[in-house]
């Protein structure tokens, strides 16, 4: 990998390469460039996941023509697809080096941080929703019970906005969650529970690539991905569209030549 990155930088195939470097025992996202080419020997993969593609989006917003290379696991690749579709990154300017990824429903063998299920505590089992359950599992609860359990989870929210801030596909210049004109706030910002979570869940339809970074960043362990899996299940059923799997036009994307918002024939 290091050889390849060195070659890419030297030949100008990429201007900057986003990977990881160990700094005082912590794997930190690091940008490698031609000017510090000797550092490439320190390039490593990391079991702690940072959204390198979100960093790439930030850099590209400043320098649209810059060629960016990055280490990509499956989740990074899926996020890149969405970012290409939504014109946040130009696919011609992005090069990836694929590395092994996290154990998930999609991929069993892998080696990174989060997705090994954590055992939920007894209290959470009784009144809340297990983060690693399936949508189908929790839908076995009665409506009333399910509502109670969701409200238990959602009322823990401390409105850190971490779920949005860390999300690779939350790139809006003006976020609804910050705009009293766009969201019923029940008074002041931030919006109340559960409006905050439900509005964000709707936005994740056709966007969320199920990387789990939001849940990883949530200080109070709310099973956020479950909400987004549910909306994306609906998107898959209605539009026959699997978010992040390819860089094909999204049914929600009205930029471009034609409107594609078409339900699939039933």
Judged by the rule CB under 6 A, the positions of this chain that interact with ligand SF4 are 157-164, 166-170, 172, 175-177, 200, 203-204, 208-214, 217-220, 222, 224-225, 228
Q: Is the dihedral of CA 176, 179, 183, 185 positive or negative?
A: positive
Candidate list 64, 117, 180, 219; residue touching another protein; CB under 8 A: 219
Q: Cβ of residue 66: shortest distance to ligand SF4, in angstroms?
A: 23
Tell me the C-alpha distance between 125 and 123, whole Å: 5
Q: Is 261 helix (H, G, I), strand (E, B) or coil?
A: coil
Which of another protein, ligand SF4, none binds 144 (CB below 5-8 Å, type-dependent)?
A: none
Tell me the C-alpha distance between 112 and 217, whole Å: 15
Tell me the C-alpha distance between 208 and 231, whole Å: 9
* 63 in contact with another protein (CB under 8 A): yes
DSSP run (H or E) holding 236: helix 224-239
* 58 in contact with another protein (CB under 8 A): yes
Candidate list 55, 138, 236, 247; residue touching another protein; CB under 8 A: 55
Q: Cβ of residue 54: shortest distance to ligand SF4, in angstroms?
A: 9
Which of another protein, ligand SF4, none binds 95 (CB below 5-8 Å, type-dependent)?
A: none
Closest listed residue to residue 71, CA positions, set 49, 104, 41, 103: 49
Q: Cβ of residue 163: shortest distance to another protein, in angstroms?
A: 11
Neighbouring C-beta atoms of residue 43, cutoff 10 Å: 19
Tell me the C-alpha distance between 177 and 196, whole Å: 7
**Residue numbers of the site for another protein (CB under 8 A)?**
15-16, 23-31, 33, 48-50, 55, 58-59, 62-63, 66, 113, 158-162, 165-166, 216-219
């Amino acid at each position: 990998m290091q050889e390849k990155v060195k070659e890419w930088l030297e030949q100008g195939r990429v201007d900057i390469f986003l990977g990881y470097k160990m700094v005082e025992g912590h794997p930190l996202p690091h940008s490698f460039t031609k000017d510090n080419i000797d550092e490439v020997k320190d390039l490593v993969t990391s079991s702690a996941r940072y959204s390198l593609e979100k960093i790439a989006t930030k850099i590209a917003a400043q320098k649209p023509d810059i060629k960016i290379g990055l280490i990509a696991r499956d989740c990074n690749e899926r996020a890149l697809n969405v970012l290409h579709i939504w014109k946040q990154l130009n696919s011609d300017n992005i090069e990836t080096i694929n590395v092994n990824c996290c154990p998930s429903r999609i991929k069993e063998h892998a080696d990174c941080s989060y997705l090994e299920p954590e055992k939920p505590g007894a209290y959470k089992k009784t009144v809340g929703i297990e983060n690693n359950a399936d949508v189908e599992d929790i839908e076995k609860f009665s409506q009333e019970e399910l509502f109670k359990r969701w409200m238990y989870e959602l009322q823990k929210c401390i409105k850190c906005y971490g779920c949005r801030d860390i999300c690779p596909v939350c790139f809006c210049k003006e976020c609804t969650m910050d705009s009293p004109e766009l969201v019923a706030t029940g008074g002041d910002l931030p919006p109340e529970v559960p409006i905050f979570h439900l509005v964000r869940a709707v936005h994740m339809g056709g966007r969320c690539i199920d990387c789990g970074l939001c849940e990883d960043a949530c200080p109070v362990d709310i099973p956020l991905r479950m909400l987004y899996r549910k909306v994306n299940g609906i998107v898959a059923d209605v539009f026959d569209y699997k978010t992040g799997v390819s860089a094909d036009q999204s049914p929600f994307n009205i930029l471009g030549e034609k409107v594609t918002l078409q339900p699939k024939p039933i």
